[in-house]
Amino acid sequence: MEQKVNTEQEQEVDTSSEWTLKRILGRLILYPCYLAIVGGGIYMLLHPIGWMSGVAGVGMIYFGIFYLYIDVKIIILKKRANERQR
């Protein structure tokens, strides 16, 4: 039964290209922004003003890494789905 669920989930994956000009330009703009957010979070952890700035730093790091992780995961899932359709 688990295989049936997995195949249904795999069929639902949108196989549109992740490498269109619009998406590439979006990543060229967003990736440096999220890396700057992670860098700001690291700076806030290393040079805290108070305990809240440390918490905010952890939140910033989590937010930046979470976006990058999800984006790379989507790229890999779509690549695998396209390979299976061939």
Residues 20-36: tens digit of each pLDDT: 999 999 999 999 999 99
Question: Mean of the pLDDT values across residues 47-57?
Answer: 92
pLDDT, averaged across the chain:
86
In a domain, 67, yes or no: yes
Print the domain residue range for 53. 22-85
pTM: 0.73
Q: Answer whether residue 72 shows pLDDT above 80.
A: yes
Spatial neighbors of 53 by CB under 8 A, at least 6 apart, are 44
Task: With CA atoms as reference, report the closest residue to 61 among 35, 79, 82, 85.
Answer: 35
The total number of structural domains in the chain stands at 1
Question: Mean of the pLDDT values across residues 38-63?
Answer: 94
In a domain, 7, yes or no: no
Please tell me the predicted confidence (pLDDT) of residue 8: 54
Question: Mean of the pLDDT values across residues 60-80?
Answer: 94
In a domain, 66, yes or no: yes
